[in-house]
Structure 1
Amino acid sequence: MFEQILKQNIDKSSNKAQLADQSEISPPTKSTSEAELKDQIKLLELEKTQLQSELEDLRQKALRFGQIVDNISEVLFMISAQTNEIMYISPAYEQVWGRTRESLYQDPQSWLKAIHPEDCFEALATLETQFRTGEEFHEEYRIIRPDESFCWVKVRAFPVRDAEGEVDRFVGIAEDITERKEAEAALRKSEEQFRLTFELAPIGMVITSLDNQIERVNHSLAQALNYPEAELLNLNFADICHPADYKQIIRLEQDLITGKKSSFQIENRHLGKNGQIVDTILKVLIVRDAQGNPLHFNKQIVDIRERKIMERQLLHDASHDSLTGLANRTLFLQRLQEQIDKRRNNLQYKFAVLFLDLDRFKLVNDSMGHEIGDKLLVAIAKRLEKCVRPIDTVARLGGDEFTILLEDIQDLLEATKIAERIDDALTSPFLLDGYELFSSTSIGIAISNDSYQAPEDILRDADLSMYSAKEQGKARYEIFVESMRDQAVTRLELETDLRKALEREEFVIYYQPITFLSTGALTGFEALIRWQHPQRGLVSPTEFIPIMEETGMIIHLGNWMLWEICTQLKQWQVKYPQHKDLKVSINLSGRQLKEPNFLQY
């Protein structure tokens, strides 16, 4: 139709030009002069030239219009206002509708039939209204192609009126908006997925403005902080953050705004509605527009209270005794090192270490059982804690050994007073499962001095003084002196020599005769053990027997003595048959008598 309109204009111009060519000059009249005739001829020639120029201009416009229409992706159309039939359709129709223009001209109503059934009713109703009122219209609907695929089109049209002002036709454009519709659908799906993810996420989710005003929040966060969701929307993010942590958040968010970072993650403390502290992991991302301008913050908040409780429990278990709840060796040594460091910075600062070992605790375990023994340890631990100040540390090193760290004391007298207080506290009976038990402890005391550089050093000296208290009769305390360390070194060397002596058989048995006082007759011998030390010579049993008893070497020594004495007695009986009834007395250790295979030996 557009071509027809242009052709009509071109034809009109051509006709005018032809008329100008065919015009004959009217015969001159009496009143017409030769000059006037020449003027008329010039006017006709000028009109002819103008008409030919207009004709060429129209031809060029028609050519350009055709080129534009043939190459644009939008569909240009013209519809009759009376019949709703297509009067003109551009070539792009074939690409969008998937049909030929010839088929449309053959069936002018086929464009309506191609509308998707679900959109057809609304689309036709809109068209009918617009045709009736003669107004512009804009419509979006789907069309079905012959291959049963469909596409979305956006149709815009405006009325063209005739000379009488009546709507004669509608001229418009149809655009394939399938990609846009798919993008919108994908966006809606994405937004719905985000909404569901945001609202149903098991972790806290919050969107805040750049000044941290809360704009959106999910149920998980509201539940974790014990807030109604609506109330959170009236708060700033600062209102639900621990003040000590919020400064760091502000600094890191500024890095996001300036582009130094795209996100950050920290452990953070939030505040619940009632002021309770909620340990969390906070992850913050910044959202920007297409131009890169910051819009808002997306924040994820993971409640890690249970993990923190477990971590604190694990930390407590790693540094405390599982039975009594007291500090263990690791924590005790750590705090002892802190005291050494304090004294290094202030030589006037004093502290002390008490090393406690319960007396006869093994007897309780052996006679009453380990369950009662454990209950006794727990009860003793409670009494020890009551004997010291809150700043002091009571620890259980293991078994029946306890240590106490006395911080910031005035002098040694203060430490001895606490030792006496402990002794008094443990003298009272313990009532456990119907049993009345008594306990006492041997205590070693070591006071701080400049020589202690490591916690193990002062603990060692407190241990040495505790052993000295046991040797002095138990249920008492002893203060460490340097000679104790020398004695300990000597004892250790002696123990090492004793082990070698067993291997080398450096022991010697002396036989002391036993006679009747009345007759002087020999009845037997008493076997006496002596140690022939390579450097020290004969060593008295009073020096080495206690060490052998403590270390268990006494059993090996007793077995050797029995073998040697029995062998010697047999030899005497063979050599002196008249003394077959000769006997030898042997001093055996109580530990050896308890050995299950002693009688078999």
Structure 2
Amino acid sequence: MSTFPPLPGYTLFPPAEGVRAVREGPDPAELALRESEAYFRSLVENARDVIHVINADGTTRYITPSVRHLLGYAPEELIGGTALDLVHPDDREEATAALRLDRYAPGAGRGLEFRMGHRDGSWRIFEGVGTNLIDDPTVRGVIVNARDITGRKRAEEETARLASFPRGTPSPILECDATGAIRYANPAAEHAMRELGVDSARLLLPEDHPRIVRRALESGAGVRDVEVGVGGRVLAWLYHPQPALGAVHLFGEDVTERKQAAARLFHDAMHDALTGLPNRPFFMQRLTAALVRHERGETTAPAVLFLDLDRFKVVNDSLGHHVGDELLVAVAERLRGCVREQDTVARFGGDEFAVLMEELEGPACAARVAERIAVAVAAPVNLSGYEVFTGASVGIALANGARDRPEYLLRNADMAMYRAKGAGGARYELFDRAMHAQALARLQMETDLRRALGRGEFILHYQPIIALSSGRIIGVEALCRWQHPQQGLIAPGDFIATAEETGVIVPLGEWVLEEACARLAEWRREFAHARIAMSVNLSARQFAHAGLVSHIRGTLAASGLNPRHLKLELTESVLVEGGGSAGALLGELKALGIDLQLDDFGTGYSSLAYLHRFPIAALKIDRSFVSGMEADNAAAQLVRTIVGMARGLRLRVTAEGVETAAQLAQVRDAGCDFAQGFLISPPLDAPSMRALLAADPRWR
């Protein structure tokens, strides 16, 4: 048992040696002293605070029994030890300074907060005041009265912590300790738990929540946008470290609608709005990934099928864009039905589609799919009351090495598709290296074409047209030739299609018209007897050019040529591609006084309809019919039928491609008005044509 020190104002004397205590009766003064001592002892030993008597050397002389309850130690374990042994290391320096000050300043000292260690390893917070009674002979020490304020401090911290959270916020807020254990959840978090059907706030957090908490506390930086899917919703958490509290505050937000909106935007950005198919960017991503897998040896060579619808423009222009859109949707569905689930079908825009196929056994597998596509697309489809037919030209390209790039593979499939379309359409072609070489040659031709006009490399040749009634020349057809500096004279069949595709045909056609009109005006002035006209071909690109009529008007004015002496030849394909505006444009040309002729009659789509709808003055029977007249009575009968029909429509008829005397006699007998061909004369350069006009020959 600890020895209670003498109370101030009292001196306790032990019994003197050899003196026998003799008590004859209670001494009133002694009784009062004992009662007072017992009273104060009871107060001290039953105090809830710790009363600590510290010797001048800093050791503990006495400590109240309350230390057992507050810190888990028996008083006798602490008496004789250093008084500050239980003080937290971080608080020890300040406590030592306070005790030192108390030793040298008599009376009550200043208050101090400090932590003391409990036997169980925890720390308790105390508020203490020291009183220096070292000079008091009855005490000779510093009395420290320490009160446990742990509960109060925790309450203050809790109040401060709760005050740091926004009030009334609809967003979930949590507080976690350094281990990730949840210490607090605000009402919004509890509401979210009920709404999402979970019984623990931990279920609102990611699986690696403890790791994120440690990361936030160690770095001192917040961790943003930690997303968790719960009950069909998406919560995004912000981890905000609170080092002073040894905690992390989590601020949650329901981002479900935002994620759904972002997903819709991404889907729309990667898909075609009309058909719902992936678009070009999506397809290229898939193709890039497929080539990477192939390069790693994970898959066989992927294949790209590139397809373009045949005659789609005819449908669009004749039946309207809404029917064209319906056709595209129908084609998309048919394409889906032709491929496997893992294949990618995409629409690139317009009437272009692409298919990506992986894990193929070889080119034959891709070819079989292309055949299925061709058959499926060719089947008629009923759209808005119309039975519509179309076809698909398909190009196939297979990856063949580690150096394949997505754009190259797509380019190769595109080249193969154009080969299929050039062969008549409704078929497929497999890419080969020769196509690439041809494409490079075509590219070089495009470059040379663009330069040729400025360099004056084009010339005109003229083929005479005779009247079968008189045998005299009544007109010439202007035919363009390219005098290439390296390749020599290039016929129109070798470059006109490229000029049409590149748009060079427009300025080239304008030059042809200007040169032909100027030349004819010159010849008519020189040869009064030569009552001839000039025939000039118009391509589809020229016909669609907005400035066509104004340019023709200006050219006629500049040359002084009478519009009646200019004949414009158009093929049926030009009228088809001209769509609904073709009739109005032909009307403008007719109003200028120009004769319009339908070239290559009989090889197009629906010639009779065009003869009825448009202001055509003449037609030219295609050379394929004329060349067959000698050996095929059916061909001869067909020519006579065409002439008879033209007579009924008051149209003049020219027979093209007359190469033999027999053919000349046959077309004359069939009733044709005019003829041209190599029998009469091949195309001639300007000087030779001038000489022929001067000779004024006759053909019988």
Q: Same fold (TM over 0.5)?
A: yes
Aligned in 2, Cα 1:593/1:297: closer, same or farther, shift over 3 Å? Answer: closer
Aligned in 2, Cα 1:191/1:586: closer, same or farther, shift over 3 Å? Answer: closer
Q: Secondary structure at the match of 2:261?
A: helix
Give me the whole-angstrom Cα distance separating, in 1, the residues matched to 2:544 and 2:232. 62
What are the superposed Cα offsets for residues 350-377 of structure 1, whole Å, 9 maximum, x if unpaired?
2100111111222233233333333332
1:86-485 matches, within 5 Å, as 197-198=166-167, 200-208=168-176, 214=182, 216-227=184-195, 235=200, 237=202, 239-241=203-205, 245-247=206-208, 249-255=209-215, 260-262=218-220, 264-270=222-228, 272=230, 275-286=231-242, 294=246, 298-346=249-297, 349-450=300-401, 452-485=403-436
What are the superposed Cα offsets for residues 242-268 of structure 1, whole Å, 9 maximum, x if unpaired?
xxx312x11233456xx6244642433
Pairing partner for 2:479 from 520, 528, 553: 528
1:528-567 matches, within 5 Å, as 528-567=479-518
Structure with bigger helix share is 1
Per-residue deviation, 1:464:
0.4
Partner in structure 2 of residue 587 of structure 1: 537
What are the superposed Cα offsets for residues 65-100 of structure 1, whole Å, 9 maximum, x if unpaired?
xxxxxxxxxxxxxxxxxxxxxxxxxxxxxxxxxxxx
Query: Is 1:494 the equivalent of 2:454?
Result: no
Aligned in 2, Cα 1:226/1:476: closer, same or farther, shift over 3 Å? Answer: farther
Contact 1:268 1:282 in 2 (8 A): yes
Aligned in 2, Cα 1:514/1:362: closer, same or farther, shift over 3 Å? Answer: closer
Query: Is 1:600 the equivalent of 2:549?
Result: no
Per-residue deviation, 1:447:
0.9
Aligned in 2, Cα 1:298/1:321: closer, same or farther, shift over 3 Å? Answer: same
Contact 2:239 2:248 in 1 (8 A): no
Per-residue deviation, 1:445:
0.2
Q: For 1:305, give the aligned amino acid.
A: T
Per-residue deviation, 1:458:
0.7
Q: For 1:585, give the aligned amino acid.
A: S
Q: For 2:211, give the aligned amino acid.
A: R
Give me the whole-angstrom Cα distance separating, in 2, the residues matched to 1:348 and 1:186. 66
Aligned in 2, Cα 1:516/1:396: closer, same or farther, shift over 3 Å? Answer: closer
Contact 1:323 1:374 in 2 (8 A): yes
Give me the whole-angstrom Cα distance separating, in 1, the residues matched to 2:215 and 2:534. 94
Q: For 2:169, give the aligned amino acid.
A: A
Contact 2:172 2:187 in 1 (8 A): yes
Per-residue deviation, 1:278:
2.3
Q: Secondary structure at the match of 1:492?
A: helix
Unaligned runs of 5+ in 1: 1-182
Contact 1:266 1:282 in 2 (8 A): yes
Contact 1:355 1:443 in 2 (8 A): yes
Partner in structure 2 of residue 573 of structure 1: 524
What are the superposed Cα offsets for residues 542-566 of structure 1, whole Å, 9 maximum, x if unpaired?
1011122223333333332222222
Contact 1:279 1:308 in 2 (8 A): no
Unaligned runs of 5+ in 2: 1-152, 555-700
Give me the whole-angstrom Cα distance separating, in 1, the residues matched to 2:449 and 2:215. 72
Q: For 2:271, give the aligned amino acid.
A: H
Q: How many residues align?
A: 400
RMSD: 3.3
Give me the whole-angstrom Cα distance separating, in 2, the residues matched to 1:435 and 1:505. 50
Give me the whole-angstrom Cα distance separating, in 1, the residues matched to 2:257 and 2:519. 75
Give me the whole-angstrom Cα distance separating, in 2, the residues matched to 1:339 and 1:396. 18
Q: Normalised by the size of structure 2, how large is the TM-score?
A: 0.52
Give me the whole-angstrom Cα distance separating, in 2, the residues matched to 1:308 and 1:394. 26
Aligned in 2, Cα 1:306/1:574: closer, same or farther, shift over 3 Å? Answer: same
Give me the whole-angstrom Cα distance separating, in 2, the residues matched to 1:205 and 1:284. 11
Give me the whole-angstrom Cα distance separating, in 2, the residues matched to 1:264 and 1:366. 60
Per-residue deviation, 1:472:
0.5
User: Kindly, what percent of the aligned residue pairs are identical?
Assistant: 40
Aligned in 2, Cα 1:210/1:423: closer, same or farther, shift over 3 Å? Answer: same
Contact 2:304 2:396 in 1 (8 A): yes
Q: For 2:213, give the aligned amino acid.
A: E
Q: For 1:564, give the aligned amino acid.
A: E
Give me the whole-angstrom Cα distance separating, in 2, the residues matched to 1:284 and 1:474. 65
Aligned in 2, Cα 1:493/1:287: closer, same or farther, shift over 3 Å? Answer: closer
Q: For 2:218, give the aligned amino acid.
A: K
Contact 1:212 1:236 in 2 (8 A): no
Partner in structure 2 of residue 171 of structure 1: none
What are the superposed Cα offsets for residues 224-244 of structure 1, whole Å, 9 maximum, x if unpaired?
44449xx86x6361x333xxx
Per-residue deviation, 1:319:
2.6
Contact 1:224 1:303 in 2 (8 A): no
Give me the whole-angstrom Cα distance separating, in 2, the residues matched to 1:555 and 1:383. 38
Partner in structure 2 of residue 34 of structure 1: none
Q: Normalised by the size of structure 1, how large is the TM-score?
A: 0.60
